[in-house]
Structure 1
Amino acid sequence: MHKLVDGYFTLLKVLAIICLVTMVVLVFGNVVLRYGFNESILISEEISRWAFVWLTFLGAVVLLRERGHMSVDLALRALPSWGERGCLILSQLLMLACSGLFFWGSWQQMEINWNVPSPVAGWSMGLFYGSGVFFGISACLIHLYEIARLALGGEIPRPDLSAELHQ
């Protein structure tokens, strides 16, 4: 199971790289075409925008899983072990609630815009808002996993400060 989950997140990283490369190629190519040849590719801007949105949400899911988000744990470290664990579970519950709201709002937007075509490509705008649905579901699953892990006595995550000190 661990290999399957790692493979899934590796796939997300590869998809994020594909989105980034797509954005760079399309935007740079369009700039060259506009200034060099007074032409442009109409669909380039729209695909770049979609790639940017999906890149953002793919990256957010990967960072959430790797605990790469910002945290201030000065007060947390001053608590006893049970207090620290309780605060971490509470914070995961609050993030779960926020991610659930994000999922619900994105789902509603996806439903509303499912039959609305994008301006140039004509693709369903529901797919555009689907990035939020993807993030909401993924974030909720990650938060549920973290809550269960902490509640069952798993290791309390601590940032590795040694790497930052050596830079």
Structure 2
Amino acid sequence: MRLLRYCEKTLEALVALFMFCLVAMVFTNVVLRFGFNSGIVVTEELSRIVLSMLILTGAIVAMVQQRHIAMTLLVDRFSPVFKKITVMVTGSIMLYGTWLLGSGAWMQAKLNFSSNYPLSGLPSATIYVVASFSAAMLCLIIFARMMLILIGKMPADRFFQAASADVAE
């Protein structure tokens, strides 16, 4: 459990670092363009990469902390057995969609390992590797929650708990 908490805090720190880098690059470029009529050309490319990494890492953090938006109006009225069935169906759909993301990103990564971004020189596969890693982590989280609910270690309500539940409290 301590390891999971450490991983979560590490991902949060990465999100904060990516956000800081993104703001710093964009702010610096705006100041240089308007103040000195110049700019750092590579920041446009790097900000695109960092934004993608920020979004993908943030998706993992949101899934771990159950901060995704959920529509639980109908599910809240289900019986516990039907909630479990709904968890298995929706979890399977989520796993399939995440698998599509991961396998597609990995295919793109394999195609782009040999090419580099023109300005920064970073491998073009960078974003796709991060997307594959994010998809693997999301699949792991979804599958683990499905199994915990299936064996009775976690109530089915927790699968659908999301940001909307915080507002009600």
TM-score by length of 1: 0.93
* Aligned equivalent of 2:3: 4
* Aligned equivalent of 2:41: 42
What is the CA–CA distance in structure 1 between the aligned matches of 2:22 and 2:75, rounded to whole Å? 40
Paired residues of 1:89 and 1:150 also in contact (CA < 8 A): no
Q: For 1:89-108, what per-residue CA distance to the aligned partner results, in whole angstroms no more than 9, with x for missing partners? A: 21111101111111100000
* Aligned equivalent of 1:60: 59
What is the CA–CA distance in structure 2 between the aligned matches of 1:69 and 1:159, rounded to whole Å? 6
The residue type equivalent to 1:29 in the other structure is T
- Percent of residue pairs bearing the same amino acid type: 24
User: Which has the bigger relative contact order, CA under 8 A and spacing at least 6?
Assistant: 2
Asked whether 1:164 is paired with 2:164, we answer: no
Structure 2 residue matching 1:70: 3-state secondary structure: coil
What is the CA–CA distance in structure 1 between the aligned matches of 2:164 and 2:126, rounded to whole Å? 40
* Aligned equivalent of 1:147: 146
Structure 2 residue matching 1:125: 3-state secondary structure: coil
What is the CA–CA distance in structure 2 between the aligned matches of 1:66 and 1:117, rounded to whole Å? 35
What is the CA–CA distance in structure 2 between the aligned matches of 1:147 and 1:159, rounded to whole Å? 15
Q: For 1:60-84, what per-residue CA distance to the aligned partner results, in whole angstroms no more than 9, with x for missing partners? A: 0111112211211121122111111
- The runs of at least 4 consecutive aligned structure 1 residues that moved more than 2 Å come to 158-163
What is the CA–CA distance in structure 2 between the aligned matches of 1:162 and 1:123, rounded to whole Å? 41
* Aligned equivalent of 2:98: 99
What is the CA–CA distance in structure 2 between the aligned matches of 1:164 and 1:35, rounded to whole Å? 42
Give 5+ residue unaligned stretches, structure 1. Answer: none
Structure 1 residue matching 2:125: 3-state secondary structure: helix
* Aligned equivalent of 2:14: 15
Structure 1 residue matching 2:74: 3-state secondary structure: helix
Q: CA RMSD in A?
A: 1.6
Q: 1:162 to 1:128 in 2, by over 3 A?
A: closer
Paired residues of 2:68 and 2:162 also in contact (CA < 8 A): no
What is the CA–CA distance in structure 2 between the aligned matches of 1:4 and 1:165, rounded to whole Å? 31
What is the CA–CA distance in structure 2 between the aligned matches of 1:82 and 1:50, rounded to whole Å? 44
TM-score by length of 2: 0.91
Q: After TM superposition, give the deviation of residue 47 of structure 1 in Å.
A: 1.2
The residue type equivalent to 1:139 in the other structure is L
What is the CA–CA distance in structure 2 between the aligned matches of 1:111 and 1:42, rounded to whole Å? 27
Residue-pair matches, total = 165
What is the CA–CA distance in structure 2 between the aligned matches of 1:13 and 1:117, rounded to whole Å? 28
Q: For 1:24-48, what per-residue CA distance to the aligned partner results, in whole angstroms no more than 9, with x for missing partners? A: 1111101111111111111111111
Q: 1:160 to 1:139 in 2, by over 3 A?
A: closer
Paired residues of 2:117 and 2:124 also in contact (CA < 8 A): yes
